[in-house]
Chains A and B, each alone.
Chain A
């Protein structure tokens, strides 16, 4: 059962990654691209967790935790850059 679920999930997130990539490349303006990038980061958290489940290891856990914790910092930085130009005021 879990095998099937994993395969399905991998398929979904793989497809999501490709769609994110498509959007990052083709979107109008920077804002949509950053949003797509942020989504891609979240999708990669999922992929790492799935990899951990499929291989039965906890070793990917730290990486997902840090992506979750710090990934938004770059998004914030992009956003500030677009809105204010200067990211540390």
Chain B
């Protein structure tokens, strides 16, 4: 099976549980199981190649410019992890089917689980480190969904958030690290990177890359000091904990360290960081685990401890240690998944997992007892179980490690870790299952059905089998995987139980005996532990997050306190500051262009502009007057655009001006007609100084630019030269809009459409509340005069409508070669229709409007998109335009450009957006069912007894 398919299967399959939950819980879980099984079979089919030492690959370019490709490969390590992820995933799916209750939304659960599984498989099969980072982020996100699955529980939500904050933060560091690594290696392909050890370790980027990558790994694998998220993630349902914390999520960090082991390890810094952190985590996790009363918390800290152990082994940098790490990853996955599942069974049956309320379950739940005991003893490192074998290897490796000149530090610490590990393993069995049967369980426990104990039973069988026959069952795969980890062929010892009496065995013996003694002393130790002051991770984490939020809020509230004047003041001040800085540090050449002669008429128009601007400032507290004066400014700008040879802009400015005035008048109807004085004189002085400063600055800047030639050749030359050749149009402005910068325009019409739809949605939401009644009952600000739909106006606008639409069509069609185009035509058409709303009334116009404006916007965007995609048929990039000539007998030949079709999209989007926005705003004042029975308010045919009624 292709690696693409294997990586994609869980994602594709994630759809099925969500859909099939309607067919029942069995169909849902079977679908999830079938998908997983299929992917697992796909992986296993590659087993012969992998065991021959070959690498299976699948490659496809994705964004080759960025070095990011959908490249997958599977060697021993990838095969091992993929098998583990999918195999244990299958067992978890079976277990979860019986664990989840009827109230739990099972479809969501399996969908999240498969998404997570797909992300994990993606990580272990990626041959491109950027692709790997993508999957890495996906595991953070999907594990967030899984951990927060019981969203009604605060602990679940908080745990999920904490896990996301920690692992997501680590993910950020990892992205940086991977980019540095790729830069140092000169490639983002893992297979290439793995061959460039010397180049990478000689690079100055090695240390920062290593630290960033390790941050990613340590957060994901819950290494000290990031170990605190893992126990809080235990708020998730037990199948999630069993999956995430035995075989998958937390192993992702270990996987990455193993994957990059050939290029990153072997240096002092690697040894001191990785081995030391691993050792600290192992001992610390083990000590804390012993004093946890929650079964899952105990297992969580034991997981932290065992992850530390594996990290330690990877940090040592020797072949034997790497082999031990691989072997322990396998063993830990088997016994820890089984243990989590037994904890889940106890919780499920006894309705508590507080160790102090349990005990004596041996009699009541014999099957669970056997499974838990075997798995626990393996965790404690008791022969002949598999945990013993890998723990021996670890102790042996630690015994031969010299840390900073000290021969005894590592062996002693390793023994202490093993000792506590043994103690909490024993405690898990003794305090839960042994002892007298109690009569105060929250629920009378008994063994569950086979569905729940089958999965742990299979794992426990593996625990025993690997322990008894390590060489036959696991030897080959461990060696193949270790070869992949170290990137070569190593010389390993056979896996066997009995190595004779050596240092490791003595350390192991001390640990076991010490563990038993610790367990006996547990009660007084527990009292002392509880009395001792110790840092509480969640409190510290919450305080840190709280401080971050306060800091962010302080910055935001200072800059954005909700007052427009403040944003404007800050923005202006900053811009003026930048300008002053640029002028004071840069250089400006001599003015090279002479001033044009100043004509009288433009001077008068300019004077109108200045006068109007000053008056707006003077009258701005009288809003209607200010609006009237602002219309002068719009008019002068239109004249100015014409005068300076920009007819397109003039046309646009004109139509926008009209729409703006209608919009503002609609809004002004509901607003105070005067702006009261609210700020202090000092503040107004400050604002005046700021705005005059900004205005003078912009004026000077423009003057400076206009009196000088461009420092560099401007892009206008290119546009002028290529407008007809490339875009098939003589009107450069329009060709820029629909061709050169067509993608911008495409984005803009989408934004325009979104804005209009948002206005519509807000209106809908507001009008559904009591605001509507208030609006309908409000008294007008002054007495209402005249007719609502005067005859003159109705007649004129109805006559104007076809004329205006004709002009719009004319402006549209000539737009590609002469001033005009879809945008202006759209505005004109929209105004033609708004005129009808104004003259004949909302009800009249709305009743004659057969196409919803949303649909017009949507069709516009679709037309533009389809036109753009048409270029793909010609093997050209999106929105490449083409043009040709059409001959129709009797007519002159004329040109036809695909850009014109794109312009139709622009036209439709503009018409729809403008009308939807104006219609929404006018609905605030609309009184339904008040329209007259006549086309106008008065009946023009008064002598007709029925009065020309529209019936």
Seen from chain A, the residues whose Cβ lies within 8 Å of a Cβ on chain B are 10-11, 13-14, 17-18, 21, 24-25, 30, 33-34, 37, 40-41, 44, 47-48, 51, 59-60, 62-63, 65-67, 69-71, 73-74, 76-78, 80-81, 83-89
Contact = CB atoms under 8 A, between A and B. Distances in A.
B807 interface: yes
A63 B611 CA distance: 24
5 contacts: A59-B819, A66-B651, A66-B828, A87-B922, A88-B837
Contact of B628 (A37, A63, A65, A73): A37
Nearest to B820: A62
Contacts of A76: 793, 835, 838-839
Contacts of A88: 666, 834, 837-838, 841-842, 918, 922, 925-926
A62 B647 contact: yes
Interface stretch (B413-421, B545-553, B779-787): B779-787
A26 B635 CA distance: 19
B669 A85 contact: yes
B632 A21 contact: yes
B611 A74 contact: no
A73 B925 contact: no
A85 B781 contact: yes
A87 B666 contact: yes
Contact of B615 (A25, A65, A71): A25
Contacts of B657: 74
B612 interface: yes
Interface stretch (B204-212, B234-242, B598-606): B598-606
Given A47-B601, A78-B665, A85-B669, A69 B838 contact: no
Contacts of A81: 624, 665, 668-669
Q: Is the interface of B mostly helix, strand, loop or mixed?
A: helix
Given A30-B624, A63-B651, A89-B925, A80 B838 contact: yes
Q: Is the interface of A mostly helix, strand, loop or mixed?
A: helix
A80 B838 CA distance: 8
B917 to A, nearest CB: 12
A83 to B, nearest CB: 5
A42 B851 CA distance: 35
A30 B623 CA distance: 11
A80 B628 CA distance: 14
A70 B785 contact: no
A37 B807 contact: no
A77 B449 CA distance: 78
Contacts of A70: 654-655, 658, 804, 828, 831
Contacts of B651: 62-63, 66
A48 B601 CA distance: 11
Nearest to A81: B665
A31 to B, nearest CB: 10
A89 B922 CA distance: 8
B871 interface: no
A14 B601 contact: yes
A84 B784 contact: yes
Interface string B68-100: 000000000000000000000000000000000
A62 to B, nearest CB: 6
A80 B668 CA distance: 13
A65 B807 contact: yes
Contacts of A69: 800, 803-804, 807, 828
Contacts of B800: 69
A4 B930 CA distance: 58
Nearest to A60: B642
Interface in B576-613: 600-601, 604-605, 607-608, 611-612
Contacts of A65: 807
B625 interface: yes
B279 to A, nearest CB: 76
Contact of B642 (A37, A63, A87): A63
Contacts of A80: 665, 838
A25 B650 contact: no
Given A33-B628, A77-B662, A21 B831 contact: no
A35 B33 CA distance: 78
Contact of A85 (B631, B661, B784): B784
Contacts of B930: 89
Contacts of A60: 642, 647
Contact of B604 (A14, A25, A74, A77): A14
A62 B647 CA distance: 8
Contacts of B838: 73, 76-77, 80, 87-88
A78 B629 CA distance: 12
A85 B782 contact: yes
A59 B647 CA distance: 7
A74 B639 CA distance: 17
B789 A51 contact: no
Contacts of B666: 87-88
Nearest to A11: B600
A80 B797 CA distance: 14
Contacts of B604: 14, 17-18
A81 B781 CA distance: 11
Contact of A83 (B607, B662, B781, B784): B784
B654 A24 contact: no
Contacts of A47: 601, 605, 639
Contacts of B918: 88
